[in-house]
Amino acid sequence: MERQLIRGFIDGALSTLGVVIGASSGQFTVIITAGVGGGVANGLSNIFGALTAERAAEEMRISEIEKSMLREMKDTAIYGEVKKRALLGGLTDGVATVAGSIVPVLPFVVALYIGASVFTATMAAIALTTFCLSLIGVYLGKISRESLMFSAFKMVVMGLITALLSFFVERSIHSILGG
């Protein structure tokens, strides 16, 4: 479950960061709606995608066991546990994606209520997202016995690359369409 939790959170945070940056030429309500809508859609997509992938991977493992045991496992407790594990993995991935998607949207909600600019909210979204990613990096560095600073740095770079590419896409499309 830990793998799905981390993967889902990173996916939700980075993809929604791209959405809010892409919508950052709009009004707060548009940016927030796009971020929340994108986060929920991404979460549902990950539930269905992860559930399908997890189930297929578990079915392959069961099939290998069945071949070596020369017996079908469909009516066993093991098979029931496999189905439960696949369902829990899919749900964990999707819920973590939605949770991660809240991170880059939150600064826009706060900015709307305190009267800050969209630019300030965008910079805060990038900062908050990269901060959360750095914490994940520290955790991953700890469990993988890698340098905590290097692991955090890699995660921050992922966030900054996402932000830069999203800015580039937003500005390019904005200038092409004449907005």
For residue range 138-161, what is the model confidence (pLDDT) as tens digits? 999 999 999 999 999 999 999 999
- CA–CA gap between residue 140 and residue 151 (Å, rounded): 7
CA dist list (Å): 146 to 5, 8, 11, 152, 155: 20, 22, 22, 10, 13
pTM score of the predicted model: 0.85
In this prediction, the residues of the chain whose per-residue pLDDT falls under 70 are: 70-71, 73, 179
Tracing tokens 């900054």 back to the chain, one arrives at 160
pLDDT value of position 179: 62
pLDDT of residue 99: 97
Q: What is the pLDDT of residue 172?
A: 93
What residues does each domain of the chain span? 2-173
* pLDDT value at residue 86: 80
